[in-house]
């Protein structure tokens, strides 16, 4: 594949600083060299321009913190991902907080009818009416299905759904807000919580999830939040939650993604070097990206 790498050093959607350094940490862990060694062509697109926090009015709307900065960043990312698809290349966006997936997935959906595989401790399906924090990194998936503030749904265009909620599968959820739970049920999104991962095993869960995101689509987009993994293996994340995916479960998810042959692009987000242990989480992100791109032990 010809892969285009984009950094999005943004933490405006989160409630804690630090994930803006995630793209640098992942690159420092050897991502570019490792992708090249795997046999893919790689183009380094640099970073989407992100203003300093002091330039954003975080408290202008307490239910949509930093929206005036997040929307233009997301618009720029959407345009860049759309260009990558026009060139016939494969996008990888590095975060940064999970609100960046608004732009990356909407950019991909301009060119293909896609499903979305969302790997996350959280379901990110809040709206301004249900959010307890006002943090926009808890809203992107809802906005991608047409729910929430029109500025997030539309990104400068007519507000409409980019993804069919019936073609979304969430894996690893273990921290869902009450109002968010109702939003998910109303939308019909399939959520595979850690209870189901524990009960049925990640292989069975992934087979069902892949069927959801590939049925009637032209492929699927992988959005991988590193907080889906247990903090034992990934301590440096924006919003850690105990009881997550194991090291091998995370790798099997990415290996099965590669085996599907239907992956059209991906995000790896929420790496926070401030909270990490010797760049352990960024190094794991590199390993998982390589697995999703086809690296195998044998």
Check if 89 is active-site.
no
Residue 150 within a domain:
yes
Query: Number of folded domains in the chain?
Result: 1
Check if 97 is active-site.
no
User: Which of 127, 107, 241, 259 has its CA nearest to residue 184?
Assistant: 127
Residues counted in the chain? 298
Q: Taking the alpha carbons of 148, 85, 218, 112 in that order, is the dihedral positive or negative?
A: positive
Residue 298 within a domain:
no
Structural domain harbouring 123 = 2-292
pLDDT band at 52 (very low <50, low <70, confident <90, very high): confident
The first and second tokens of residue 78, run together, are: 């959407």
pLDDT band at 58 (very low <50, low <70, confident <90, very high): low
Residue 193 within a domain:
yes
Residue 98 within a domain:
yes
Residue 172 within a domain:
yes
Q: Which of 4, 11, 97, 124 is catalytic?
A: 124
Residue 272 within a domain:
yes
Q: Which of 4, 20, 89, 137 is catalytic?
A: 137
pLDDT digits (tens, 9 = 90+) for 86-95: 999 999 999 9
pLDDT of residue 56: 82
pLDDT digits (tens, 9 = 90+) for 165-219: 999 999 999 999 999 999 999 999 999 999 999 999 999 999 999 999 999 999 9
Check if 225 is active-site.
yes
Check if 251 is active-site.
no
Q: Which of 20, 180, 227, 249 is catalytic?
A: 227
Check if 267 is active-site.
no
Check if 98 is active-site.
yes
CATH number at residue 246: 3.40.800.10
Averaged confidence pLDDT in the chain = 96
pLDDT of residue 273: 97
Q: Decide if 145 contacts 192 (C-beta within 8 A).
A: no
Place of tokens 């991962």: 197
Q: Which of 4, 97, 122, 249 is catalytic?
A: 122
Q: Which of 4, 97, 98, 180 is catalytic?
A: 98
Check if 2 is active-site.
no
Check if 276 is active-site.
no
Distances (CA, A) of 5 to 47, 91, 154, 225, 245: 9, 6, 24, 17, 26
Neighbours of 66 (CB within 10 A): 25
Residue 149 within a domain:
yes
pLDDT of residue 55: 82
Res 297 pLDDT > 90: no
Residue 12 within a domain:
yes
Indicate the pairing of strand 115-119 with strand 263-269.
unpaired
């Amino acid at each position: 594949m010809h892969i285009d790498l984009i950094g999005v050093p943004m933490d405006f959607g989160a409630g804690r600083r630090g994930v803006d350094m995630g793209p640098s940490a992942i690159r420092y862990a050897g991502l570019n060299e490792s992708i090249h060694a795997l046999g893919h062509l790689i183009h380094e697109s640099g970073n989407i321009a992100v203003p300093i926090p002091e330039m954003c009015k975080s408290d202008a709307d307490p239910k949509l913190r930093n929206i005036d900065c997040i929307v233009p960043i997301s618009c720029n990312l959407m345009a860049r991902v759309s260009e990558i698809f026009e060139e016939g290349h494969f996008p990888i966006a590095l975060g940064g907080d999970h609100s960046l997936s608004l732009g990356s997935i909407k950019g991909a959906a301009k060119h293909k009818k896609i499903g979305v595989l969302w790997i996350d401790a959280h379901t990110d399906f809040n709206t301004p009416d249900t959010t307890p924090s006002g943090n926009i990194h808890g809203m992107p998936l809802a906005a991608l299905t047409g729910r929430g503030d029109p500025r997030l749904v539309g990104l400068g265009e007519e507000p409409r759904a980019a993804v069919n909620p019936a073609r979304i599968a969430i894996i690893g959820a273990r921290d869902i807000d009450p109002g968010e739970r109702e939003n998910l049920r109303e939308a019909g999104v399939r959520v595979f919580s850690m209870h189901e991962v524990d009960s049925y095993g990640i292989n069975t869960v992934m087979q069902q999830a892949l069927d959801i995101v590939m049925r009637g689509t032209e492929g699927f987009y992988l959005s991988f939040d590193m907080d889906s993994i247990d903090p034992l293996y990934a301590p440096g994340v924006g919003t850690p939650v105990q009881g997550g995916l194991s090291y091998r479960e995370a790798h099997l998810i990415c290996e099965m993604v590669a085996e599907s042959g239907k992956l059209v692009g991906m995000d790896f987000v929420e790496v926070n070097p401030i909270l990490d242990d010797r760049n352990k989480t960024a190094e794991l992100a590199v390993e998982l990206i390589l697995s999703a791109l086809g690296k195998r032990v044998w």
